[in-house]
Amino acid sequence: MPILVHKYGGTSMGNIERILSNARRIAADIQKGYQVAVVVSAMSGETNRLLALADEIDPHSSGRERDMLASAGEQVSIALMAMALHKVGVEAVSFTALQAGIHSDPFHTRAKITSIDTSRLREVLDRGGVPVVAGFQGVTDNMEITTLGRGASDTSAAALAAALGAERCDIYTDVDGVYAADPRIVRGAKKIERISFDEMLEMAGAGSKVLQTRSVVFAKKYRVPLQVLTSFEDKPGTMISEEVKEMEDILVTGICSDKTEARITLWGIPDQPGIAAQIFEGLSNQGISVDMIIQSKGQDGLANMSFTVTKPDLSDAVRVTEKLIDTLKARQMGVDEKIAKVTIVGVGMKAHGGVAARMFRCLADKGINIYMISTSEIRISVVIDEDYTELAVRSLAKEFDLVDESVEEKGA
């Protein structure tokens, strides 16, 4: 029998009524001939509440104890979900990560799944029951409880779907899918019906927060389609799957914007081998990751270099870079926090030329200046002045046909 994994996020587990409604949906999928395994998050707000208690004692409290505490939220959810399934006549057994065999590395609060031993879960599935597994948790070889990072129950679900060889992993949440642009910025933004793993990964890297990136990495590696859909209404969501030919017919699948980065520029650095290596080794030694980089030739055998880092890393990055100014004999350094990265993503770019030109023309027509550009085979990102973010996203959404005109007019 085909296996489905259902994952319920915090809002979908928000109260008993919602939990019972999820149980009825699970029962319906079993009726349709599926075996269903369930992964749940803590009830909405619960993980924050628990970690706030820890912070009241000490924001730097031990990772082991923080994990012991935070993992409790999911333990509440699995028990309630199992009881709700019993109530609607479905056999169900709750499992913590330890019981479910979700093994992780020992890095508390940010552990990574290393393997899943599904034998106990399969026993339940094979007798027609539903294993209800705690998301977010892992267990080390020494039987220590870990957590996998905030928002990681998506990743637990994708990993479990992979381990069980599931036909699909349905991620139930409070939005009804992935949108081609943020509907809070673009009124009438279209919902994406189907998107490839690679496009979704580019979207996540460009600021889309619908799914935890690691969950998409798992799904891609093990070729398990993910569906993002709402638990509040009965309708299809967005399918994230391997690329199919028809996806190329659409030039641009989605647009994202990201205001979380800042730019550092060094003017007048020597144009010779080893300089870039010095700068970026210095940053990487401090655990700072760099997103976009531009180098251009200046005058007198000198070059200019700009790069972006996330705002929380900015002060550390400035410190590292300032130290290098003397060694590199750079002329000047500048910092700009008022920038935004705007990205368009689409596998259609592989087959069709001219997308970049259309993007830049569209921005130019609105008088928006481009500071930096970076591309991949299926993505174009530009850095612009933060004040123009919304205008850029709206104009590009129109340009690439990502707005549902009827909704737009009705709402206007």
Sign (positive/negative) of CA torsion 148, 149, 154, 159?
negative
DSSP H helical ranges for 59-133: 63-70, 72-87, 97-100, 119-126
Q: Phi, psi at residue 358, to the nearest 5°?
A: -65, -40
Task: Rank residues 173 and 304 by Cβ distance to ligand ASP and give the closer one.
Answer: 173
> Measured from the CB atom, is 47 or 196 closer to ligand ASP?
47
Nearer to ligand ASP, 153 or 241 (CB): 153
Residue 320 DSSP SS3: helix
Contact between 173 and ligand ASP (CB under 6 A)? no
Q: Does 188 bind Mg ion (CB under 5 A)?
A: no
Residues touching ligand ASP, count (CB under 6 A): 12
Q: Which of 6, 9, 35, 219 binds Mg ion (CB under 5 A)?
A: 9
Q: Which of 42, 162, 210, 363 binds ligand ASP (CB under 6 A)?
A: 42
Task: Confirm or reject binding of residue 151 to Mg ion (CB under 5 A).
Answer: yes
Which strands sit side by side in the sheet containing 113-116, from one edge to the other? 113-116, 102-104, 137-139, 145-147
Segment interacting with ligand ASP (CB under 6 A) among 147-155, 232-240, 287-295, 357-365: 147-155
CA distance 251 to 94: 45
Q: Is 129 in the site for ligand ASP (CB under 6 A)?
A: no
Q: Least distance to ligand ASP from the beta carbon of 224, Å?
A: 18
Nearer to Mg ion by C-beta: 227 or 321? 227
Q: Which residues, 6+ apart, have CB-to-CB distance to 391 below 8 Å?
A: 366, 368
Interacting positions 70-99 with ligand ASP (CB under 6 A): 73
47 binds ligand ASP (CB under 6 A): yes
DSSP-derived letter for residue 43 is S
Pattern of binders to ligand ASP over 9-38, x per CB under 6 A? xx----------------------------
- Among 155, 185, 150, residue whose Cα is nearest residue 169: 155
The answer to whether residue 41 forms part of the interface with ligand ASP (CB under 6 A) is yes
**Binding residues with Mg ion: total (CB under 5 A):** 2
Among 151-159, 179-187, 221-229, 269-277, which window interacts with ligand ASP (CB under 6 A)?
151-159
- What does the radius of gyration of the chain's CA atoms come to, in whole angstroms? 24
In the beta sheet, which residues pair with residue 342? Answer: 257, 382
For 191, phi then psi, to 5°, come to -80, 140
Nearer to ligand ASP, 150 or 187 (CB): 150
Specify the residue, 42 or 239, whose C-beta has the smaller distance to ligand ASP.
42
218-222: which pairs have CB atoms within 8 A and are 24 or more residues apart? 218/155, 218/158, 218/159, 218/162, 219/158, 219/161, 219/162, 219/169, 221/162, 222/161, 222/162
Q: Where does residue 17 rank: exposed (0-12), middle (13-18), buried (19+ CB within 10 A)?
A: exposed
- In sign, the C-alpha dihedral spanning 234, 152, 239, 207 is positive
- Is 136 a binding residue for ligand ASP by CB under 6 A? The answer is yes
Nearest approach, Cβ of 75 to Mg ion (angstroms)?
16
151 binds ligand ASP (CB under 6 A): yes
Q: Which is nearer to ligand ASP, 47 or 94 (CB)?
A: 47
152 part of the interface to ligand ASP, by CB under 6 A? yes
- Find the shortest distance in angstroms from Cβ 47 to ligand ASP: 3
On whether the CB atoms of residues 254 and 403 are closer than 8 A, the answer is: no
Antiparallel, parallel or unpaired: β 92-95 and 130-134: parallel
Q: Is 150 in the site for ligand ASP (CB under 6 A)?
A: yes
* Partner touching 42 among Mg ion, ligand ASP, none, CB below 5 to 8 Å by kind: ligand ASP
Q: Does 196 bind ligand ASP (CB under 6 A)?
A: no
Q: Is 89 exposed, middle or buried, given 0-12, 13-18 or 19+ CB atoms closer than 10 A?
A: exposed
Q: Among 373, 353, 365, which Cα is nearest to 391's? A: 365
Binding site for ligand ASP (CB under 6 A): 9-10, 41-42, 47, 73, 135-136, 150-153
Binding site for Mg ion (CB under 5 A): 9, 151
